[in-house]
Structure 1
């Protein structure tokens, strides 16, 4: 036995440096734990710039790697499996460096929300605010893979790096499709990334020239990557990423089984409120107006995923309450938890009703309104007893008039929590209840719905134009999904009766 073997020496034989460059495709919320500005402030560096901690990115990458069926690779790359105690023979140090991700040209914003009851009235003490990084900010993610001698015993260095690159391409694919997201509220449209360029630098640490190059190499150097080491993945039809798509990515390791796409028109006005800065009236600023992509009164109107999710869940709960003859709307909400996530706020390991906290299986994308424009309106508060105006109660609001949207809803794979029956059809049916009523103008979204705001319509007859996984949804499929949802609701009634 030589010296290296006797001491378990396992030298580094290669380094693979990866840089992913792109922009935020949606708002991002990476909290610092501080509450100076809002209930959840964005984490900032010493210079006051927002960033994504390497630990947050590493956690998301590891979780996604396991979710696409590559748990063994995740353990081998990121370190010891969670279920083993420290000191086990299979203990291993992570062989990937995940750097903090710099966010450039970031514009900060504030999103507020409130939990609504059955009658769309605010629940007491349920108002909250979170600080976000607005979409379209630029970022650079940096990863460094360490290749060691023990791995090379079975493969040469090129094969080792190619195996790691295949994993990188799966991450790029996850970011591109929206399956891989970062930060809070990712099930409500936040944390989506658009990768534009992938840069790859390889170092063979056993070759002196390559080793010396690595010693002098710097990520920040404008010439750190050669032109041939930079891949434009937005083209998609050429290069290494395209090759991966036609092999491993052909069938895809997608977590989503379904994607609904629903085209809608806004025949009247929409108002999802955003208020003046710090809730103080400023010159030439309205008291409140429609939320936009820049957080102000310009550019395009924005419908948050949380607003769509809240409207859908509230509407579906009412329908289930009637079909299943449940004694309360809250009971119906509880029955939806396996699909939409835990509804009751919790500070422990369950939701307050003895149920484990459940993550939503449904992702509601943030939706940008195409067309239309702001419509400033001045209004007076009216005294309900005299019918006259209230002195000093003149205010200005800016709803959004006209336009159209493409609503996207993703459904993740899963099994029904209470049994073995596949629940995907049930969720599709529940979503169709809300989608069809949205097209019919029965289900409004946003504020001031009592005066006609937030009403949508389909481009043709109710039920037309709905796509499921990119294909038009047939009448037979609609009927099948709707019936499956009704049977599930009836099963809920049977369970209540038996109980």
Structure 2
């Protein structure tokens, strides 16, 4: 007679390990910590190292597996049925991730009024972020208990319950390699993380050697390795990657740390790190998304789209409609592609039209390096304009009319009708399109600087772009 197993007995464990790396700035806030250097602080351990709590990563994983029939079995649940409460413990244990090589910086922020386009009074704030390039060890353990395996019920599946759980572990590894978002402001270019390689080990506790390997932290025979997958867009995700040159000067304000000579420097172009940890100038995703939302509202209103404010809230998020499906990436500007110079300015008395005494100040914006080159004979020759910045934005679970508004935004950016950063009234921040790539439904559509479709299947791709425009214009 076969001995009945204890329902709480452990049948095995699955470990998922890798090195998690920041591809964009990270902000997981810890609130005020007793100083006034910033309004929002990065969460740190007792040694001052920034951390990603295991609860944050577990929440991200659960959200990405919300459509899986095993979501409750893996992540646990609390179900209320009238006066009774049913509880199941999570099978996953996610450890905190301590980030090394981490550089914490303080950024300036300001709340912009979407109606007027100017800063709200008293809405200036500072916040800490962890620059890209930091990394930390990730460790996820899935415990397979007898009772949990018995509860799994997937109809019409030829795999046994243990193999089903193994497949879910593989999917977690694939997600980490393709990348995910953690922390706050994830639709504004923050919190993008990934693993270059993830190793998955399965310990079958019905085998004595596997138990010994687990207790002595030794590798097992059954190990899988997953590699980094870049630009793996989700199904039905509309992504626009545009390359642009800078028409004049550009300035996203950052409070300087010093004074140049006798002139007070009011602001300089914001600096940061790119995904490789290299110093660069940046345009934060908060700025990019803010101007795109403002322009989208103008476009929808001008076109006479029905209930456009409600639709815009559903697309780009609001306190009433929930999280945004429209996301942007932070823009990194290679310092070798631009120059920066001190630009002296005077404050003007708006009543008299004259300069105000003692109000000389300077800004330090950036300009794109001139496309004109002087030859030995004194003649000037214009070189091809190279892109100085790359703007990437997308829409998750994109509807046809939403793809239409994304294309309208690309057009406005290319024509210089959307100014980025400060100083719009003095001509700063306008761009010119150099080229673009559109990804949607496993297709890639390339556009040149004139907005013309390139490559193969030109007629087919052009027809699809026109259909998106018609879907937008049809709801009037």
Query: Does TM, normalized by the shorter one, top 0.5?
Result: yes
Query: Structure 2 vs 1, CA of residues 451 and 147 (structure 1 numbering), >3 Å: closer, same or farther?
Result: same
- Matched residue, 2:242: 262
- Cα RMSD of the aligned pairs, angstroms, is 3.5
- Matched residue, 2:445: 471
Q: CA deviation at 1:436?
A: 0.3
- Matched residue, 2:375: none
- Matched residue, 1:108: 104
C-alpha separation in 2, matches of 1:386 and 1:235? 58
- Matched residue, 1:149: 146
List alignment gaps of at least 5 residues for structure 1: 218-223, 237-251, 343-350, 415-423, 491-499
Superposition pairs of residues 133-172 of structure 1, within 5 angstroms: 133-150=130-147, 162-172=163-173
Query: Structure 2 vs 1, CA of residues 77 and 466 (structure 1 numbering), >3 Å: closer, same or farther?
Result: closer
Query: Structure 2 vs 1, CA of residues 197 and 165 (structure 1 numbering), >3 Å: closer, same or farther?
Result: farther
Deviates more, 1:313-322 or 1:45-54: 313-322
C-alpha separation in 1, matches of 2:129 and 2:190? 9
- Matched residue, 1:184: 184
C-alpha separation in 2, matches of 1:269 and 1:79? 53
- Matched residue, 1:347: none
Deviations 1:301-352 (A, max 9, x none): 22222211111111121233333399xxxx964541011111xxxxxxxx4x
Larger strand share, 1 or 2:
2
C-alpha separation in 1, matches of 2:233 and 2:284? 28
For residue 72 of structure 2, give the secondary structure of its aligned residue in structure 1: helix
Query: Structure 2 vs 1, CA of residues 397 and 334 (structure 1 numbering), >3 Å: closer, same or farther?
Result: farther
Deviations 1:387-420 (A, max 9, x none): 3363153334243535523322221116xxxxxx
For residue 29 of structure 1, give the secondary structure of its aligned residue in structure 2: coil
Q: CA deviation at 1:79?
A: 0.8
- Out of 482, 487, 497, the position equivalent to 2:469 is 482
- Out of 351, 357, 364, the position equivalent to 1:397 is 364
Q: CA contact under 8 A between 2:213 and 2:220: conserved in structure 1?
A: no
C-alpha separation in 2, matches of 1:311 and 1:208? 61
TM-score of the aligned structures, taking structure 1 as reference length: 0.75
Say yes or no: does 1:336 pair with 2:312.
Answer: yes
C-alpha separation in 2, matches of 1:366 and 1:205? 46
Superposition pairs of residues 413-452 of structure 1, within 5 angstroms: 413=397, 424-452=399-427
- Out of 17, 28, 38, the position equivalent to 2:15 is 17
Q: CA deviation at 1:177?
A: 4.4
Q: CA deviation at 1:443?
A: 1.3
C-alpha separation in 2, matches of 1:23 and 1:282? 37
List alignment gaps of at least 5 residues for structure 2: 154-158, 370-386, 447-452, 454-460
Q: CA contact under 8 A between 2:265 and 2:361: conserved in structure 1?
A: no
For residue 237 of structure 2, give the secondary structure of its aligned residue in structure 1: strand
Q: CA contact under 8 A between 1:196 and 1:233: conserved in structure 2?
A: yes
Q: CA contact under 8 A between 2:284 and 2:330: conserved in structure 1?
A: yes
C-alpha separation in 1, matches of 2:79 and 2:2? 33
- Matched residue, 1:245: none
- Matched residue, 1:378: 343
Larger helix share, 1 or 2:
1
C-alpha separation in 1, matches of 2:216 and 2:84? 36
For residue 430 of structure 1, give the secondary structure of its aligned residue in structure 2: helix
For residue 419 of structure 2, give the secondary structure of its aligned residue in structure 1: coil
Q: CA contact under 8 A between 1:44 and 1:50: conserved in structure 2?
A: yes
Superposition pairs of residues 301-380 of structure 1, within 5 angstroms: 301-324=281-304, 333-342=309-318, 351=319, 356-370=320-334, 371-380=336-345
How many residues are aligned here?
426
For residue 104 of structure 1, give the secondary structure of its aligned residue in structure 2: coil
